[in-house]
Every structure is written in structure tokens, then in C-alpha cells.
Amino acid sequence: MSDCLFCKIRDGEIQGDIVFEDDDVLAFNDVNPHAPVHVLIIPKKHISTVNDMSAEDVSVMGKLFSTAKNIALQRDVSEDGYRLVVNSNKQAGQSVFHIHMHLLGGNKLGPMVDRID
Ligand code: AMP
């Protein structure tokens, strides 16, 4: 059994508020939303970080973007704008080590990152 939280949501061992699913991709509402629309979009395949992607994973990463586009339309944030974020490793704030794309929208978002010195 996997110790990965998002694999457990994928496998139905932990309940997720799922908004989209197909053979390769799963999307669910973030449990601690940072915006009126905050959806996490993951590859069903367990890939820990962007650093762990291989050539065969390129197409599913493209599907994360097309899923984000479709959900943004459904949630009516396409026109006003939304942000897609993928944190990779600890210093970037990644806390769940299964690649996920954050889709954030529904209000005016602040600066993309804190100033980095
Ligand atoms: P990150 O910090 O980029 O790794 O993002 C992890 C995200 O997963 C955070 O925004 C959390 O709020 C979210 N999260 C943690 N547990 C759950 C859960 N059980 N269901 C949905 N989202 C979760």
C-alpha cells in the first residue's frame, strides 16, 4: 500500500472532493483553499516531483494543462484569469510529494512569489 496521500485519494482510500477524472488524470478541490477556486490536478501515475519526470511522462503533464483549461472554463475563471502553480521540492513549498498542479482563481491574486533575494 502506498504512503502517498494523493495516491490514496486516487485509490479511494481517502475521500477526495473529485471534480474530474479520466484514465491518466485526477482533479479534486484543495482541502485548504487559498482562493475561491483552488483545484489540484495530478497525474494518476505516482511521480514525486518534476525532477522525477521521465520522457514517458511528458504527455500526461500536457494533460494537466488541458484539464486545468477545462476546469477553469467550467468554474468560470477563464476570462478573468487564473494561476497554475507546480511546487517542486521543499524550498518551493512542496508538501505532498506526488506532482500536482494548483489551479487558483476567482479573485485577484497577489504577487506570484515573495521577493527572492
Ligand atoms: P504543495 O504545498 O504544493 O505540496 O500543495 C499540497 C496541497 O495539498 C496543499 O494546498 C494542501 O492544502 C493540499 N491537501 C493536503 N491534503 C489534502 C487532501 N486530503 N485533500 C485535498 N487537498 C489536500
Rounded Cα–Cα distance for residues 63 and 42 (Å): 9
Helix residue ranges, H only, the chain: 5-10, 58-74
Find out whether the beta carbon of 57 lies less than 6 Å from any atom of ligand 1: no
Report residue 111's pLDDT band, with 50, 70 and 90 as the boundaries. confident
Q: What is the CA radius of gyration of the chain?
A: 14
Report residue 116's pLDDT band, with 50, 70 and 90 as the boundaries. low
Chain-centre distance of CA 108, in angstroms? 19
**Rounded distance from Cα 4 to ligand 1 centre (Å):** 12
Find out whether the beta carbon of 18 lies less than 6 Å from any atom of ligand 1: no
DSSP symbol at 93? T
- How many helices and strands in the chain, by DSSP H and E? 2, 5
pLDDT at 1: 61
pLDDT, one tens digit per residue, over 32-47 is 999 999 999 999 999 9
Q: Would you say 92 and 100 are in contact if contact means Cβ atoms under 8 Å apart?
A: no
**Rounded distance from Cα 56 to ligand 1 centre (Å):** 25
pTM of the model: 0.96
Residue 100 designated active-site: yes
Rounded Cα–Cα distance for residues 27 and 10 (Å): 9
Q: Would you say 19 and 37 are in contact if contact means Cβ atoms under 8 Å apart?
A: no
Closest to 25 (Cα-Cα) out of 54, 53, 76, 66: 66
pLDDT, one tens digit per residue, over 54-108 is 999 999 999 999 999 999 999 999 999 999 999 999 999 999 999 999 999 999 9
Among the listed residues 34, 38, 46, 100, the single catalytic one is 100
